[in-house]
Amino acid sequence: MAEYLASIFGTEKDKVNCSFYFKIGACRHGDRCSRLHNRPTFSQTVALLNVYRNPQNSCQSADRSRCAGSDAEMQQHYHEFFQEVFTEMEEKYGEVEEMNVCDNLGDHLVGNVYVKFRREEDAEKAVVDLNNRWFHGRPIYAELSPVTDFREACCRQYETGECARGGFCNFMHLKPISRELRRELCGRRREKRGSRSRSRARRSRARDRGPGVLRDRRGWRGPERSGRL
C-alpha cells in the first residue's frame, strides 16, 4: 500500500494531495481546495506572487493599440522588468538557474514569477528577505514552490499556439524573453565570474606581499541597499 501511495503522489489518481499544486505550485481553488497543498520546507524555487503587471492585461479596451502601446513597447516594458528582477536575485541572493514569468490571467497565476536558484540555501534566504521588501510600491509575497521541472508545469498547447483556454488556462503560459536579452544576461554572469576570479587573484597577491597592504580599506562598507527591488 505504501508503495502504491508513493507512486500516485501528486498525480490525478491521488485523492488526498492536489496534483495542480504539486505540478504548478498554484491552484485556482486556493485555500478552498478539497485536496492538500503540501508546501515545501525546502526547494530551489521561489515564487513571487502577482509581481509582474502586464499593461495589456489591465487594458479594458478591445483595441489594444489605443490603450497600452505597441507590441514593441510592451516587449520593452517586459524586458526591463525581467532584467531588473533577474539581476536583483543574482546579486543579492545567489546564482539563478532559471527564471520564468507567467502570462496567465487567472488570479492564482497572473504575474507570478518563478526563480529557480542553484542552491536551496539561496532560495530560503531569498524568501525570508523578500517578504520584508516592496516592489514598485507594493509588498512582495514570496514562498518556496514545489516546481523544479517547468516542463511539467507548462501548457504544451500554448507553446504551439493552440491553447483554447487562453489566459485562464490552469497550466503556466510562460512569457518569453528575446535571444538578445538572454545573451546579455549570460554575458554579465560570465563577466561577473571573471571579475570574482581576478579579485581573488589580487587578494592572493596582496597577502603574498605581506600584512598592512589593505589597512586603509579595512573599515570600508558598501552603501546600504534600499528595501525595494
Q: How many domains would you assign to the chain? A: 1
**3-class DSSP assignment, residue 78:** helix
Residue 63 inside a domain? The answer is no
**pLDDT (tens digit per residue) in 65-97:** 455 578 888 999 999 999 999 999 999 999 999
The pLDDT tens digits for 47-57 are 999 999 988 87
Q: What is the pLDDT of residue 97?
A: 95
Q: What is the dihedral of CA 144, 145, 148, 153, to 10 degrees?
A: -160
Q: What is the pLDDT of residue 202?
A: 52
Q: Taking 90 as the threshold, does the pLDDT of residue 214 lie above it?
A: no
- Would you say residue 45 lies in a domain? yes
Per the domain annotation, does 192 fall within a domain?
A: no
What pTM was estimated for this model as a whole? 0.76
Domain annotation covers residue 28: no
Query: Has residue 15 been placed in a domain?
Result: no
Domain around 90: 39-56+72-187
How buried is 93 (Cβ within 10 angstroms: 0-12 exposed, 13-18 middle, 19+ buried)? Answer: buried
Assign residue 105 the CATH number of its domain: 3.30.70.330
Q: Give the pLDDT of residue 199.
A: 55
Q: Is residue 169 part of a domain?
A: yes
